[in-house]
């Protein structure tokens, strides 16, 4: 008999909830009330935030407070740790260059390129894992996954110039997987998949010298450039950042999205629920957190296994309740309608329901401190990626070849943890909110009757003034969800359609904006259009890598009009971004011709030259630029003005 998979325990599991008594003693009911209101606008999160303060369970907001005041040199981007001659800081009037001679502009630019390349690498490495799985399915080495959307696979194969006639699914998966793997790095000088960008946009890239080549190549070159003694010119450094970001958006992220659709199904509109109220008192609750859908898809299957179901009955639970978090959650919500417990800042709070048997994580956006939070309860943190082994967690090494077996062992462990729950600590005083999600590019085209013409007509007639991609994370510098929700509400009121991904999309879901009935909050043009189509005015387009869907949608519209993306009445926004991945996303939006407004200041204020390049100078390079506006209402003004300008230029 095959031996059952057992987890490896990474270091001792933290067994005692480390209550911070000193901080706790400072808390009084008035202060708790005040903080609870200042920390979030997510009504369902508020009782849990209050609980953490009463019980001294540390959260992201506490740690942010403890980090204050922040270092003003680091905040301005003018500190450098790059080599052993430093660290260096720029402190005018005397210290205006680092030991190597780098000035403020160069130090800021190198730091920014470093962040961007990190984000591009994260998305693209995720994409590589998915493509390798497709290739493994084709080669017959990976047997736990199947091709869920063979039509999409054929479309992609044709895009890659692969003959599809007479080939089996497996043969096609092998050939397409190999062609896609080559995008990461061979002797080529452009990405095949980036050819779907409009011709005029590719022309802009060519003239600017930023056509993305191999995906790995751009990230490696970025790392080379930030090595001491290579980059010397801030502008030249940042222009490479645009190229690296394009290799992410039109490369690694696009591959992650497209191949996930092939393997797990292309999202179609479906209904589900969001917020912390999705946790069920009488069920074994398992949250699936991170970004890569490969393990979580298998957990969904394993939860239905007859042996597991028998075990569920044995422990006396009513069933297994899977809930998503962050972008793994977005993937499951879009494709499977699995309820979502929330975005980035809900990850600690879901543990405080006291009813979570396990939190299964893959990688990205996972607080390394989660095992500390979990130690206050019976919850197991189960890490699964060799790239993200978390001290204090139980670790199952995930490999596509043994995906089902691993998923089943994880689910079993969670079910067996159900009797360890303390019923007196179960606290779920909130109800979930309904959402309609699943708006892939294909689904939007389908909702419009098979062509984008009706959308273009509505934009041309002015009923819809334009569209905005709202993306990105939560950041304790912004009241949780306030930036996302305020901006989305304001834009739809102004007849601007919102398409959203990542934590922004979940924020809108929790606020009720992902329901068709939210059309009543939209303006007199957009509202009736949404009502007639039965869609919400804010469309959920997926996870962080699915920002590529927003690019592809823009490309479809631009191609239909035979213009570059920069001519469209569209914009991007990241009101609460924190992640290096968001730096890459913002950059590939701008490099693709999309004006993008950030709600959190990047670490560039130490270089007026870099600020000027990013907010003005880039217009001469890629016909788009960044703006920074922390107030979402003012951001809406900037976006509306931009959209109206673009409409005038188009003559509509
Ligand atoms: Fe200092 Fe230059 Fe080294 Fe940075 S690269 S730490 S500025 S000497
Ligand atoms: S999970 S990258 S906090 S959107 Fe994709 Fe959310 Fe940002 Fe992570």
Read off the pLDDT of residues 280-297 as tens digits, 9 standing for 90 and up. Answer: 999 999 999 999 999 999
Q: CA-to-CA distance for 551 and 247, rounded, in angstroms?
A: 13
**Mean pLDDT, to the nearest integer, of 562-566?**
97
**Mean pLDDT, to the nearest integer, of 575-596?**
98
Cβ(344)–Cβ(326) below 8 Å: yes
Minimal CA–CA distance to 491: which of 570, 557, 438?
Answer: 570
Taking the centre of ligand 1 as the mean of its atom positions, its distance from the CA of residue 78, in whole angstroms, is 11
pLDDT band at 215 (very low <50, low <70, confident <90, very high): very high
249 C-beta closer than 6 A to ligand 2: no
Q: CA-to-CA distance for 476 and 58, rounded, in angstroms?
A: 14
pLDDT at residue 12 tops 80: no
According to the model, what pLDDT value does residue 9 have? 79
Q: Encoding tokens for residue 303?
A: 């939860």
pLDDT at residue 20 tops 80: no
Ligand index nearest the alpha carbon of residue 501 = 2
Residues paired with residue 40 on neighbouring β-strands, in sequence order: 480
| Residue 568 or residue 447, greater confidence | 568
Half-sphere exposure of 479 (CA within 13 A, CB side): 17
pLDDT at residue 187 tops 80: no
Ligand index nearest the alpha carbon of residue 79 = 1
According to the model, what pLDDT value does residue 8 have? 82
| Crossing angle of the two packed helices 104-139 and 234-246, in degrees rounded to 10 | 20
Its pTM stands at 0.97
The answer to whether the peptide bond before residue 400 is cis (omega within 30 degrees of 0) is: no
Pocket test residue of 84, 87, 96, 105 for ligand 1, highest count of atoms within 8 A of CB: 87
Mean pLDDT of the chain: 96
% the chain with pLDDT above 70 = 97
Q: Encoding tokens for residue 616?
A: 């003005």
Minimal CA–CA distance to 259: which of 172, 185, 330, 189?
Answer: 172
Ligand index nearest the alpha carbon of residue 226 = 1
484 C-beta closer than 6 A to ligand 2: no
According to the model, what pLDDT value does residue 14 have? 64
Domain with CATH 3.40.50.2030 in the chain: 270-425, 436-650
Specify the CATH number of the domain 270-425: 3.40.50.2030
Closest residue to atom 8 of ligand 2, CA basis:
365
pLDDT at residue 369 tops 80: yes
CATH topology of domain 104-264: Substrate Binding Domain Of Dnak; Chain:A; Domain 2 (1.20.1270)
Q: Encoding tokens for residue 618?
A: 């880039």
Read off the pLDDT of residues 490-501 as tens digits, 9 standing for 90 and up. Answer: 999 999 999 999
Read off the pLDDT of residues 390-406 as tens digits, 9 standing for 90 and up. Answer: 999 999 999 999 999 99
Taking the centre of ligand 2 as the mean of its atom positions, its distance from the CA of residue 344, in whole angstroms, is 6
228 C-beta closer than 6 A to ligand 1: yes
According to the model, what pLDDT value does residue 478 have? 98
According to the model, what pLDDT value does residue 27 have? 76
Taking the centre of ligand 1 as the mean of its atom positions, its distance from the CA of residue 88, in whole angstroms, is 6
Q: Does domain 436-650 have CATH number 3.40.50.300?
A: no
**Mean pLDDT, to the nearest integer, of 40-55?**
96
CA dist 455 to 439, 513, 518, 526, Å?
A: 14, 20, 19, 11
326 C-beta closer than 6 A to ligand 2: yes
pLDDT at residue 1 tops 60: no
pLDDT band at 13 (very low <50, low <70, confident <90, very high): low
Q: CA-to-CA distance for 505 and 471, rounded, in angstroms?
A: 7
pLDDT band at 248 (very low <50, low <70, confident <90, very high): very high
pLDDT band at 10 (very low <50, low <70, confident <90, very high): confident
Pocket test residue of 332, 342, 344 for ligand 2, highest count of atoms within 8 A of CB: 344
Cβ neighbors of 239 (< 8 A, separation 6 or more) are 208, 209, 210, 621
Closest residue to atom 7 of ligand 2, CA basis:
473
Compute the chain's Rg from CA coordinates: 24
Minimal CA–CA distance to 628: which of 593, 569, 586?
Answer: 586
Closest residue to atom 3 of ligand 2, CA basis:
473
Ligand index nearest the alpha carbon of residue 96 = 1
pLDDT at residue 358 tops 80: yes
Q: CA-to-CA distance for 431 and 208, rounded, in angstroms?
A: 51
Pocket test residue of 101, 110, 228, 232 for ligand 1, highest count of atoms within 8 A of CB: 228
Taking the centre of ligand 2 as the mean of its atom positions, its distance from the CA of residue 170, in whole angstroms, is 33
pLDDT at residue 477 tops 60: yes
pLDDT at residue 448 tops 80: yes
pLDDT band at 17 (very low <50, low <70, confident <90, very high): low
Element (DSSP H or E) covering residue 591: helix 580-591
In the three-class reduction of DSSP (H, G, I as helix; E, B as strand; rest coil), residue 472 is classed as coil
According to the model, what pLDDT value does residue 56 have? 85
Of ligand 1's atoms, which has the minimum distance to the CA of residue 228?
A: 5
Of ligand 1's atoms, which has the minimum distance to the CA of residue 101?
A: 2
**Mean pLDDT, to the nearest integer, of 106-125?**
98
Pocket test residue of 82, 106, 223 for ligand 1, highest count of atoms within 8 A of CB: 82
**Mean pLDDT, to the nearest integer, of 549-559?**
97
327 C-beta closer than 6 A to ligand 2: yes
Read off the pLDDT of residues 261-278 as tens digits, 9 standing for 90 and up. Answer: 999 999 999 999 999 999
Cβ(509)–Cβ(525) below 8 Å: no
Q: Encoding tokens for residue 635?
A: 């951001």
The answer to whether the peptide bond before residue 194 is cis (omega within 30 degrees of 0) is: no
Domain with CATH 1.20.1270.30 in the chain: 104-264
Of ligand 2's atoms, which has the minimum distance to the CA of residue 501?
A: 4
Closest residue to atom 2 of ligand 1, CA basis:
100
Instruction: Tell me the H-state helices in 227-354.
Output: 234-246, 253-264, 293-302, 306-315, 326-336
Residues paired with residue 573 on neighbouring β-strands, in sequence order: 470, 597
Cβ neighbors of 1 (< 8 A, separation 6 or more) are none
Pocket test residue of 324, 500, 506, 544 for ligand 2, highest count of atoms within 8 A of CB: 544
Pairing mode, strands 8-9 and 320-325: unpaired
pLDDT band at 641 (very low <50, low <70, confident <90, very high): very high
DSSP string, 462-513: TSS-EEEEE-----TTS-BTHHHHHHHHHHHHTTEEEEEEHHHHHHHHHTTT
Cβ(417)–Cβ(378) below 8 Å: yes
Cβ(285)–Cβ(323) below 8 Å: yes
Minimal CA–CA distance to 231: which of 125, 119, 117, 75?
Answer: 117
Minimal CA–CA distance to 541: which of 444, 434, 643?
Answer: 444
In the three-class reduction of DSSP (H, G, I as helix; E, B as strand; rest coil), residue 294 is classed as helix
pLDDT at residue 140 tops 90: yes
| Residue 191 or residue 4, greater confidence | 191
Of ligand 1's atoms, which has the minimum distance to the CA of residue 84?
A: 3
């Amino acid at each position: 008999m095959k031996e059952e998979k057992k987890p490896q325990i990474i270091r001792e599991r933290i067994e005692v909830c480390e209550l911070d008594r000193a901080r706790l003693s400072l808390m009084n009911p008035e202060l708790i009330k005040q903080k609870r209101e200042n920390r979030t606008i997510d009504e369902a999160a508020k009782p849990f935030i209050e609980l953490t303060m009463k019980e001294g369970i540390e959260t992201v907001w506490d740690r942010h407070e403890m980090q204050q005041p922040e270092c003003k040199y680091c905040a301005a981007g003018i500190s450098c740790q790059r080599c052993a001659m430093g660290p260096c800081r720029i402190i005018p009037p005397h210290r205006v260059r680092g030991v190597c001679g780098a000035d403020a502009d160069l130090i800021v630019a190198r730091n920014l390129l470093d962040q961007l390349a990190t984000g591009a690498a994260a998305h693209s490495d995720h994409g590589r894992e998915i493509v390798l799985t497709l290739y493994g399915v084709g080669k017959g080495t990976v047997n736990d996954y199947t091709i869920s959307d063979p039509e999409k696979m054929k479309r992609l194969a044709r895009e890659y110039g692969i003959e599809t006639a007479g080939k089996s699914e497996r043969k096609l998966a092998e050939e397409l997987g190999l062609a896609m793997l080559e995008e990461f790095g061979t002797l080529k000088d452009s990405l095949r998949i980036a050819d779907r960008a409009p011709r005029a946009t590719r022309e802009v890239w060519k003239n600017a010298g930023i056509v993305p080549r191999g995906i790995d190549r751009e990230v490696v070159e970025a790392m080379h450039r930030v090595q001491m003694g290579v980059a010397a010119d801030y502008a030249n450094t940042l222009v490479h950042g645009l190229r690296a970001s394009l290799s992410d958006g039109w490369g690694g992220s696009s591959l992650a999205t497209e191949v996930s659709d092939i393997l797990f199904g292309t999202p179609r509109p479906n209904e589900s629920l969001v917020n912390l109220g999705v946790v069920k008192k009488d069920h074994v609750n398992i949250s699936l957190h991170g970004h890569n859908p490969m393990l979580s898809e298998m957990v969904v299957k394993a939860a239905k296994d007859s042996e597991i179901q028998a075990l569920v009955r044995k422990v006396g639970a009513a069933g297994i309740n899977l809930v998503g978090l962050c972008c793994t959650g977005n993937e499951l919500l879009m494709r499977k309608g699995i309820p979502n417990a929330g975005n980035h800042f809900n990850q600690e709070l879901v543990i405080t329901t006291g009813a979570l048997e396990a939190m299964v994580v893959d990688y990205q956006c996972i607080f390394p401190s989660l095992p500390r939070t979990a130690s206050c309860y019976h919850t197991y943190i189960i890490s699964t990626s060799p790239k993200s082994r978390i001290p204090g967690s139980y670790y199952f090494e995930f490999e596509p070849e043994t995906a089902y077996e691993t998923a089943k062992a994880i689910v079993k462990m969670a079910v067996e943890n159900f009797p360890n729950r303390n019923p007196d600590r179960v606290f779920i005083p909130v109800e979930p909110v309904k959402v309609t999600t699943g708006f892939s590019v294909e689904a939007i085209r389908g909702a419009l009757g098979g062509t984008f013409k009706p959308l273009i007509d509505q934009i041309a007639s002015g009923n819809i003034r334009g569209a905005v991609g709202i993306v990105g994370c939560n950041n304790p510098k912004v009241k949780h969800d306030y930036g996302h929700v305020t901006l989305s509400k304001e834009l739809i009121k102004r007849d601007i359609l919102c398409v959203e991904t990542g934590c922004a999309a979940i924020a809108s879901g929790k606020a009720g904006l992902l329901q068709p009935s939210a059309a009543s909050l939209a303006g007199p043009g957009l509202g009736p259009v949404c009502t007639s189509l039965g869609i919400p005015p804010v469309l959920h387009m997926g996870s962080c890598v699915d920002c590529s869907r927003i690019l592809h949608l823009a490309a479809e519209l631009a191609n239909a009009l035979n213009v570059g993306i920069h001519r469209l009445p569209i914009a991007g926004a990241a009101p609460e971004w924190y992640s290096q991945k968001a730096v890459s996303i913002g950059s590939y939006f701008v490099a693709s011709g999309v004006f993008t407004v950030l709600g959190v200041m990047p670490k560039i204020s130490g270089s007026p030259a870099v600020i000027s390049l990013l907010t003005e100078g880039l217009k001469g390079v890629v016909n788009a630029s960044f703006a920074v506006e922390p107030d979402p209402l003012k951001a809406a003004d900037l976006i509306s003005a931009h959209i109206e300008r673009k409409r005038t230029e188009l003559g509509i």
